[in-house]
């Protein structure tokens, strides 16, 4: 009888990164091009879903999946209902929250424009920022000296999603003394969290809207044409969650209208084809889904997996269960 718990993990991780895993397990490296069937009890999938899904048909006996990522939307349909799934909740809170804060500041400080100024080597072009600000925000006041950037401090930020990453974003926003409005699936009172049913009412109040919620049937196209039309003139939409939460066609139209601006780490479709109209939209910053990809992500996510394995071996409740085997 086999006594050791067999744990399959992506072979791209060197053995030293798994040094903190508990005793009582057999670690099985799984190459991306695995060409034979293998029995394992616990699967730690590759962080890239396409690679993981190609590999899964070769795996037999899987009872527990320990994701390295917070997002697990592809997993239930791949492994079925008879497998317990744990997310990597907490693994990229810091890096994704830092990306979000950076994206907000980059757009409010007009850094994409000033990168163009740098490339043009034309110092006096800085005065173009004032006209850009007035056109984007509709602020036609005769301001002097000319406006060349904006401040985050004092703005109203609508945070859509208040899980672990959303709470980390809130912590990082605190020094800027923003007026924070929280929205999540479930209403809470301490701190005040509004239910998703109030989103349309809250959108017009915000100068910055941050999306950091999981992709579900309910959240798909949560930001559609109607919601985008409710945004203030010049408001900033930041999507650090999943691409399909925003209706891409509606976003392209809204950006070309000059009413709003956006910063995206995720898109729909993804990867974004090189001929997609989103690339050429005005007032838009795109990064190619890199928000969680810091040097600390791999070690941190593997520490999470090791902790879940210790609990599993001791028969203790797992921390980040998103699907319990039936």
What pLDDT digit, counting tens, does each position of 233-245 carry?
A: 999 999 999 999 9
What pLDDT digit, counting tens, does each position of 8-23 carry?
A: 999 999 989 999 999 9
Categorize the per-residue pLDDT at 4 as very low, low, confident or very high, splitting at 50, 70 and 90.
confident
Residue 252 has pLDDT above 60, yes or no: yes
Q: Given 51, 125, 289, 303, which residue is catalytic?
A: 289
Is the same domain home to 244 and 310? Answer: no
Q: What distance in Å separates the CA atoms of residue 218 and residue 220, rounded to the nearest whole number?
A: 6
Q: Given 92, 182, 194, 242, which residue is catalytic?
A: 242
Is the same domain home to 104 and 192? Answer: yes
The 3-state secondary structure of the chain reads CCCCEEEEEECCCCHHHHCCCCCCEEEEEECCCCCCCEECCEECCCCCHHHHHHHHHHEECCCEEECCCCCCCCHHHHHCCCCEEECCCCCCHHHHHHHHHHHHHHHHCCHHHHHHHHHHCCHHHHHHHHHHHHHHHCCCCCCCCCCCCCCCCCCEEEEECCCHHHHHHHHHHHHHCCEEEEEECCCEECCEEEEHHHHHHHHHHCCEEEECCCCCCCCCCCECHHHHHHCCCCCEEEECCCHHHECHHHHHHHHHCCCCEEEECCCCCCCCCCCCHHHHCCCEEECCCCCCCCCCHHHHHHHHHHHHHHHHHHCCCCCCEEECCC
What pLDDT digit, counting tens, does each position of 83-127 carry?
A: 999 999 999 999 999 999 999 999 999 999 999 999 999 999 999
The question of whether 270 is a catalytic residue gets the answer yes
In a domain, 250, yes or no: yes
Residue 1 has pLDDT above 50, yes or no: no
Is the same domain home to 300 and 182? Answer: no
Is the same domain home to 83 and 12? Answer: yes
Is the same domain home to 157 and 102? Answer: yes
Average pLDDT over residues 170-197: 94
The answer to whether 104 and 263 have CB atoms below 8 angstroms apart is: yes
Residue 195 has pLDDT above 90, yes or no: yes
In a domain, 155, yes or no: yes
Q: What distance in Å separates the CA atoms of residue 68 and residue 89, rounded to the nearest whole number?
A: 8
| The pLDDT of residue 142 | 87
| The pLDDT of residue 140 | 86
In a domain, 9, yes or no: yes
Place of tokens 């072979």: 11
Is the same domain home to 216 and 260? Answer: yes
Is the same domain home to 100 and 191? Answer: yes
Residue 2 has pLDDT above 60, yes or no: no
Enclosing domain of residue 155: 94-109+150-286
In a domain, 45, yes or no: yes
Is the same domain home to 172 and 252? Answer: yes
In a domain, 240, yes or no: yes
Burial of 249 (0-12, 13-18, 19+ CB in 10 A): middle
Average pLDDT over residues 247-276: 97
What pLDDT digit, counting tens, does each position of 154-164 carry?
A: 999 999 999 99
Rg (CA), the chain: 22
| In the chain, % of residues over pLDDT 70 | 99
Q: How far is Cα of residue 174 from the mean position of the Cα atoms in its chain?
A: 20
Residue 69 has pLDDT above 80, yes or no: yes
Residue 58 has pLDDT above 70, yes or no: yes
Residue 3 has pLDDT above 70, yes or no: no
Give the CATH number, domain containing residue 270: 3.40.50.720
Is the same domain home to 101 and 232? Answer: yes
Is the same domain home to 262 and 303? Answer: no
Range of lowest pLDDT (35-44, 129-138, 174-183, 186-195):
186-195
Burial of 15 (0-12, 13-18, 19+ CB in 10 A): exposed
In a domain, 126, yes or no: no
The question of whether 182 is a catalytic residue gets the answer no
In a domain, 189, yes or no: yes
Q: Given 135, 151, 192, 270, which residue is catalytic?
A: 270
Is the same domain home to 163 and 264? Answer: yes
Mean pLDDT across the chain: 95
**How many domains is the chain partitioned into structurally?**
2
In a domain, 117, yes or no: no
| The pLDDT of residue 177 | 97
The question of whether 110 is a catalytic residue gets the answer no
Is the same domain home to 99 and 80? Answer: no
């Amino acid at each position: 009888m086999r006594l050791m718990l067999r744990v399959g993990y992506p072979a791209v991780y060197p053995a030293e990164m798994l040094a903190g895993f508990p005793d009582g397990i057999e670690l099985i490296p799984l190459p991306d091009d695995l060409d034979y069937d293998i029995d394992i009890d616990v699967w730690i999938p590759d962080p890239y879903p396409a690679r993981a899904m190609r590999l899964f048909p070769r795996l037999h006996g899987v009872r527990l999946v320990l994701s390295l990522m917070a997002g697990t939307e592809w997993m239930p349909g791949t492994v079925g209902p008879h497998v317990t799934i744990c997310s990597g909740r907490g693994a990229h809170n810091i890096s994704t929250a830092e990306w979000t804060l950076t994206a907000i500041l980059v757009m409010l400080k007009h850094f994409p424009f000033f990168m163009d100024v740098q490339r043009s080597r034309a110092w006096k072009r800085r005065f173009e920022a004032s006209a850009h600000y007035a056109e984007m925000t509709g602020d036609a006041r005769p301001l002097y000296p000319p406006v060349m950037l904006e401040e985050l401090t004092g703005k109203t930020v609508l945070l859509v999603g208040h899980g672990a990453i959303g709470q980390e974003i809130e912590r990082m926003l605190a020094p800027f003394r923003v007026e924070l409005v929280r929205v999540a699936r479930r209403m809470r009172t301490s701190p005040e969290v509004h239910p998703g049913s109030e989103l349309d009412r809250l959108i017009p109040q915000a100068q910055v809207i941050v999306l950091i919620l999981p992709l579900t049937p309910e959240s798909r196209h949560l930001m559609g044409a109607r919601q985008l039309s409710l945004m203030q003139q010049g408001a900033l939409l930041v999507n650090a969650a999943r691409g399909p939460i925003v209706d891409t066609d509606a976003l392209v139209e809204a950006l070309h209208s000059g009413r709003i601006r956006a910063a995206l780490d995720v898109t729909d479709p993804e990867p974004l084809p090189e001929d997609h109209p989103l690339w050429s939209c005005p007032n838009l910053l795109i990064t190619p889904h890199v928000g969680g990809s810091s040097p600390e992500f791999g070690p941190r996510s593997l520490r999470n997996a090791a902790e879940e394995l210790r609990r599993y071996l001791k028969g203790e409740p797992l921390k980040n269960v998103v699907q319990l085997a039936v």
